[in-house]
Amino acid sequence: MARPPNDPLSRRERQIMDVIYRQGRATAAEVQEALADPPSYSSVRALLRILEEKGHLRHEQDGPRYVFLPTVPRDKARRSALSQLVQTFFDGSTAQAVAALLGEPSSNLSDEDLDRLSLLIEQARKEER
């Protein structure tokens, strides 16, 4: 089972990964086309190569072009990134991270969101017993 890579990503690298996760697979030209304020084609290719070296992407040859795919499913990459964020900024405290998110004025949680969070909290309580 593949582990999510641990190397932190730059802003542009995160944008590229988002494009590839959204599309499932993409060529350098497709990535460049999907980016807002895109860098040059050669810069996109260089960034894709860096992401591959960091272990975030792999490529397959499709005729003369490389098609890039993520090495780890998005949900696993998300969990790994979130875990790293909680460790780095909240001393490993999930409660502090959740409290910070809920305290954000921009969180705009709907009643449905709050109900879902309540259910998740209940499930966590049951699992602890």
- What mean pLDDT, rounded, does the chain reach? 89
* Mean pLDDT of the region 7-23: 90
The string of pLDDT tens digits covering residues 63-115 is 999 999 999 888 888 887 788 889 889 999 988 988 888 888 878 888 998 89
What number of H helices and E strands is found in the chain?
6, 2
Task: Identify the architecture of domain 11-70 in CATH.
Answer: Orthogonal Bundle (1.10)
Indicate the pLDDT class of residue 20, thresholds 50, 70 and 90: very high
Per domain, the residue ranges of the chain are: 11-70, 74-128
The string of pLDDT tens digits covering residues 28-67 is 999 999 999 999 999 999 999 999 999 999 999 999 999 9
pLDDT at residue number 1: 43
Alpha carbon of 36 to those of 16, 28, 48, 121: distances in Å? 10, 14, 16, 38
pLDDT at residue number 6: 62
pLDDT at residue number 4: 55
Which DSSP helix (H) or strand (E) runs through 31?
helix 28-34
